[in-house]
Structure 1
Amino acid sequence: MRHGRRLFAFTFLLPPLALYAVFVISPYLQAFQISLTDWRGLSPEYEYVGPENFRLLLHDQYVWNALKNNAIILVALPVVTILLALFFASMLSVGGRAGKAGVTGVRGAALYRIVYFFPQVLSVAIIGVLWKQVYAPNSGILNGFLRAVGLDALAKPWLGDPALAFWCVLAVMVWSNVGFYVVLFNAAMQSIPREIYEAALLDGAGRAATLARITVPLVWDTIQVAWVYLAILAIDGFALVQIITEGGPGNSSDVIGLRLYTNAMGDFKFGYASAIGVAMFFLTLSVAVVALRATRRERIELS
């Protein structure tokens, strides 16, 4: 009977596992193979060059510049996004004044959730094009607003300045992600008993102390997941950079994902681009492991 049950389960699991192997695992394995060749992607002819692509990778200044930008994103994106999301989610969940109904969220919290979540219904392409127009020097909303309020001196060619372009893209990354984590953290906060917040309020705890000593420890598992996802996103960051700045000006906003794309589709160095992809695979895996270990702490159980 047990053998028949296992055969039945295996029969249903085999097709999806086969599809996963063909369409997910197989491309990964092919990327490892191609990274050891000089394939240019335009013909079936290629030669094995061994680790030569990886040796070139170590001495590629464009790659190191892109990795530097990714490292900045890796630090800034999770920290800023999570801090903003925690603040907004806390206000929506317990930011209202205590009344007869106990601790509540701010008035209109449901509307705020929709507003915060709105960027999630837009594709990355739409977000990139939208913000590229916002940053436009002459017709952009940002410079238009600054001129309208008399701050003409602050109007700048945001995406044309090497000192500003990268930070402009980083700001868009935060804007496009913070709403999702506001909703995620808010959902996690709903499971915290309101009696805990009311007791803290009676003890004279302010909102900052309540957030730091009650909310954060009780939703830490959710924060840990958010940190890992944002860290993985920071390693890539290709789509927004490619649409908004194309890595410029002067490679000031370049990222490693764009390096891969440029080498493959621009220079037709598919072997070298695959080597970058393999390096990204191990880098992303390492970052995920480090993020999980760095954010690991004893879980708090509510009784």
Structure 2
Amino acid sequence: MRYRKYPFIAGFLVIPVVLYVVFVIWPYLQTFGYSLTDWSGQSQEMHFVGLENYTKLFGDHVFLQALQHNVLLLVFLPVITILLALFFAFMLNVGGRGGTTGVRGVRGSAFYKVVFFFPQVLSVAILVVLFQAVYRSDGSGLLNGILIKLHLQDPSAPVEWLNSPNLVMWCLLGVQIWAGVGFYLVLFSAAMQSVPKDIYEAALLDGAGRLQTFFKVTLPLLWDSVQTAWVYLAIAAMDFFVLASVLTPGSSFGGGPDYHGEVMATYLMRNFLTFGKSGYACAMGVVILFLTLILSAIALRVSRRDRIEY
């Protein structure tokens, strides 16, 4: 009877595995194959060029500049998003403790959770329209309007938020953080609520303050959730196609001004659909894939800790 279960399990696994190979693994292999050719994308005619696309890639200053932007996002996006989400989750779940009420969130925490999660229900299209109004380069823009009202900016010379080489990537980073904090707040809140209240009450009785409770109790117990969030945010930082392509100036897929808003994904799509360099674009896709896998593995390895049981 024991040996009959294996064919039964295999029968259920065959179809999902076949579908995964056909729709996931095979396109990856095709992309790698096309990256070794000079395929234009317009016809099936192509010639094998070996690693020529890859050698060109690492001599391409636009691609290297886009890679630097992705690295910048990779450094700041996970750190800022996770810190803000952890702080808000802590305050909304255990930050209002005190007196005889025991462990509780700050007053109005249920309302704040809805407010912080609200950006998650907005589509990318709505986000784009919203932040195009926020970053308008005249006095009617939200940020410029606030600065002008506070007399911090000359009305005749408003800030060109998305047209400034020094500001455009930070503006995109701000949009992504604003849109993503709510999701990770809910993730950390769910993990925090699974922690027995007795642990927090014991820390309260021992005289631990909010800072000590956060670093000595909350963070170690939520480390698995933090690790998961770090990997997801690292993957998001290596992509970043949608916001960069629609918010930054440029004739096709954004990237401006002067490639200061370029990320690897936008440069890939421009080569694939606009320049007709599909083989070259496939080489970029392969590089992005391996960079993402390597960085995810490094993030998991560096953040590995012994799991705390409670």
Q: Same fold (TM over 0.5)?
A: yes
Stretch of structure 1 that moved more, 262-271 or 126-135: 126-135
Which secondary structure state, in structure 1, belongs to the residue aligned with residue 261 of structure 2?
coil
* AA at the equivalent of 2:85: A
In structure 1, the partner of 2:172 is: 169
Distance 2:126 2:24 in 1: 27
Indicate how the Cα distance of structure 1 residues 195 and 3 shifts in structure 2: closer, same or farther if over 3 A, else same.
closer
1:150: Cα distance to partner? 3.4
Q: Deviations over 1:126-151 (max 9, x none)?
A: 22232122101123222223323433
* AA at the equivalent of 1:181: Y
Q: Deviations over 1:77-108 (max 9, x none)?
A: 11101110010000001011324331100122
In structure 2, the partner of 1:152 is: 153
In structure 1, the partner of 2:294 is: 286
In structure 2, the partner of 1:272 is: 280
CA contact (8 A) 1:81 1:174 kept: yes
Stretch of structure 1 that moved more, 9-18 or 227-236: 9-18
CA contact (8 A) 1:32 1:275 kept: yes
Distance 2:2 2:301 in 1: 39
Which secondary structure state, in structure 2, belongs to the residue aligned with residue 158 of structure 1?
coil
Distance 2:80 2:48 in 1: 44
Distance 1:283 1:107 in 2: 44
Q: Does 1:296 align with 2:304?
A: yes
CA contact (8 A) 1:125 1:239 kept: no
Q: How many residue pairs end up in the alignment?
A: 302
Indicate how the Cα distance of structure 1 residues 125 and 11 shifts in structure 2: closer, same or farther if over 3 A, else same.
same
1:293: Cα distance to partner? 0.6
In structure 1, the partner of 2:224 is: 221
Distance 2:203 2:182 in 1: 27
1:4: Cα distance to partner? 4.5
CA contact (8 A) 1:166 1:252 kept: yes
In structure 2, the partner of 1:190 is: 193
Q: Which runs of 5+ in 1 are unaligned?
A: none
Stretch of structure 1 that moved more, 29-38 or 2-11: 2-11
Q: Does 1:46 align with 2:62?
A: no
Q: Deviations over 1:269-303 (max 9, x none)?
A: 1100000000111100000000001101111111x
* AA at the equivalent of 1:27: P
Distance 1:201 1:97 in 2: 8
In structure 2, the partner of 1:62 is: 62
Stretch of structure 1 that moved more, 95-104 or 228-237: 95-104
1:3: Cα distance to partner? 5.2
Distance 1:267 1:203 in 2: 66
Q: Which runs of 5+ in 2 are unaligned?
A: 249-253
CA contact (8 A) 1:103 1:194 kept: yes
Hey, which of these two has a bigger chunk of helix by percent? Answer: 1
Q: Scaled by the length of structure 2, what TM-score is found?
A: 0.93
1:243 to 243, 246, 250: 246
Q: Does 1:258 align with 2:266?
A: yes
Which secondary structure state, in structure 1, belongs to the residue aligned with residue 49 of structure 2?
coil
2:183 to 180, 198, 213: 180
In structure 2, the partner of 1:17 is: 17
* AA at the equivalent of 1:148: K
Stretch of structure 1 that moved more, 259-268 or 138-147: 138-147
Stretch of structure 1 that moved more, 192-201 or 171-180: 192-201
